[in-house]
Amino acid sequence: MRRLIAAIISLLFFLMLITVLNTETEDKAGIPAYGDADLSSRVSERFVTKSVNGYDGEIVYGVTSDAETGSANLVTSIVVNYRSFDTLGEVTVLFISATGVGLLLGGGKKRIVEEIKVSPVARLASRIVTPLLLTLGIYVFIHGHLTPGGGFPGGAIIAAAFLLMMLTDEKRRAPSKLKILEGYMGLTYVLLGVAGLLISGSFLQNFLPSGTIGELLSGGLVPVVYSVIGLKVGAELSGILDDLACEGSDES
C-alpha cells in the first residue's frame, strides 16, 4: 500500500515535469526553449502592470466577484496563490527543522519535573484561556485571506496554547496523533498541488472559483491551503515544544 502510494506520487510528479516542459501556450506559462525566456514579463513587472481579470475599474469590497485571486488580503494572495510553491518549500524547511529537533532531543519518556508548584489559580485560569487561544489561532488561519495573519501565525498561536497547557500541568504531553496529523497535512498540501496540476495544468494552480471579495468562502484554494498550513505548523511547533520539555532517554 505504502509503495503503491509512493509510486503514484512519483508518477504524478513525472507527469507534472513532462506537462510543464511541453506547455508554452497563451494561458499556461511553461518552460520555454533555451534563451527564449523574457524574465521581465514573468516576474514582478507582469504582476505590477497586469489588470485583474481584464477588469480595469475599481475593486469594491464585498461587491466585486470572480476577480483573479479574490482574496481581500493582498499578502495572502501572494503567499499562497502566486507564490504557493515557495510556501511549500517553507513548510518543508519547518518540517526538516522539527525533525532535526526530534532526532536530537526526542525519545524522552517523561516530563521534566519542576520544583516550583503551579498555583491552583493559574491552573484554573489557563483552563479558561487555552480554548480561547485555540479559537483565536483557528480564526487567524481560516480568515487568512480576509484579515492579517494566516497559516504560520495561526499555527504559532495554537502552539502557544499548547505551551500554556504544558506550563500549568506537569504531566501534559503532546498527543502522539499530532505527528500523524502533521504528516497527513503535508500530504494534503502536495495533493492539492497535484489536483491543480491535473485540473488546470500547473502545480498548485488555484482551481476553485474565487467568489466575492470579502466573503469567507472566497479566494478559491486560499482558505483551504491556509487551514492545511495552520494545522501542520501548529502540530509541528507543539511537537518541538514537547521534545524540549521532556527528558532524553539516555540520561535516566
Partner 1 sequence: MSVFSAIICIAMVILALVAIESKRLLVSVIMLSAVGLLSVVLFVMMKAPDVAITEASVGAGLTTAIFLLSLRKLKRADAA
Residues near partner 1 (CB under 8 A) are 73, 75-76, 105, 112, 140, 148-150, 152-153, 156-157, 159-160, 163, 237, 240-241, 244-245, 247, 251
Task: Give the shortest CB-157-to-partner 1 separation in angstroms.
Answer: 5
As measured in angstroms, the least distance from the Cβ of 98 to partner 1 is 11
Q: Rounded CA gap, 182 and 189, in Å?
A: 11
As measured in angstroms, the least distance from the Cβ of 114 to partner 1 is 9
Identify which of residues 149 and 186 has a Cβ nearer to partner 1 in the complex: 149
Integer Cα distance of 75 and 79 in angstroms: 6
* Amino acid letter for position 23: T
Length of the chain: 252
- Output the smallest distance, CB 11 to partner 1, in A: 37
Nearer to partner 1, 163 or 178 (CB): 163
- Closest CB to partner 1 among 16 and 91? 91
Q: Which is nearer to partner 1, 12 or 233 (CB)?
A: 233
Residue 196 or 234: the one with the smaller Cβ distance to partner 1 is 234
Task: State in angstroms the smallest separation of the CB of 54 from partner 1.
Answer: 28
List 35's β-bridge partners, or say none: none
Q: How far, in Å, CA of 70 to CA of 77, rounded? A: 8
Q: What are the b/e assignments for 188-205, b being 16+ CB within 10 Å? A: bbbebbbbbbeeebbbbb
| Interatomic CA distance for residues 132 and 231, integer angstroms | 17
